[in-house]
Structure formats: structure tokens, C-alpha cells
Structure 1
Amino acid sequence: MDDNSVNQVLVNEEGQYSLWPMDKEVPAGWASTGKSGSRQFCMDYVDQVWTDMRPRKLREQMATD
């Protein structure tokens, strides 16, 4: 990724995050979070919101055990 490119933050149904170039179509299974900007801005956002790296299904399963 080019540090000067504009990126967007994507999330999938498992609550996993990814950076994606703004000029590329969002891949199937992913949705935009509405956050976009520099790579660093997007990384900082992901660091704030993605505090548990486990997939959603695993988090839910472990919460009921």
C-alpha cells in the first residue's frame, strides 16, 4: 500500500477488519465502516475498535461456555 493513497476500513461478518484502497471495489463478504483516509488514520481507527482479534462466532461461543 502506498502511504499517500486513500484507504477505507472494511469489516466482515466475523468482526475482522481490513484496509482497502478507496478506488477498488469492496470484495464480497466485506462492508465499509465509513472510515477512510490515510493508511495511518485507518490503522489508528482499527487499533481503537478491533481490540479482540477472535472471530465473532468464537467470542460468542466462549461467552456462553
Structure 2
Amino acid sequence: MKTTLKVCDMVTSKDVTRVKNAISANEGVIACGIHKAKKEVEIVYDNYFINIEDIIESIENSGYTVI
């Protein structure tokens, strides 16, 4: 599966790193691309291992808001 999420609290490169680490820590995430200027995260994942709700939860648990 491939999806794009908006993460409204990403401002600095440190934020980008934190969000990327939160996403990458999930089993089943294949790729993650972050566009800081657009505040978008593009994620490729295997929905056999993880669903989008779990990915969103991992981002929000790191202190960011997904809209």
C-alpha cells in the first residue's frame, strides 16, 4: 500500500528525523519520503504487517498531529 499523510507540526529538520524514525520503527514499512515544505509524508507499507491507523498512532505518539 502507498499513502500520503499531512503532518502539520513538522517545521525543522529535527522534526523530519523524528517523524521518519517513528514511521520506520514499524514492522512492515517499506519506504518513507518526507516533504517538509508541504508537510507531507509518503509511506509505502505492507498492510499484512501494519495498517495506516498504527502508523498514524506512532507519529502522534511522537508528539505530532496527523490531519
User: Per the shorter chain, which TM-score range?
Assistant: 0.3 to 0.5
Greater C-alpha Rg: 1
State TM-score, norm by structure 2.
0.32
Q: Identify the structure with bigger relative contact order (alpha carbons < 8 Å, sequence gap 6+).
A: 2
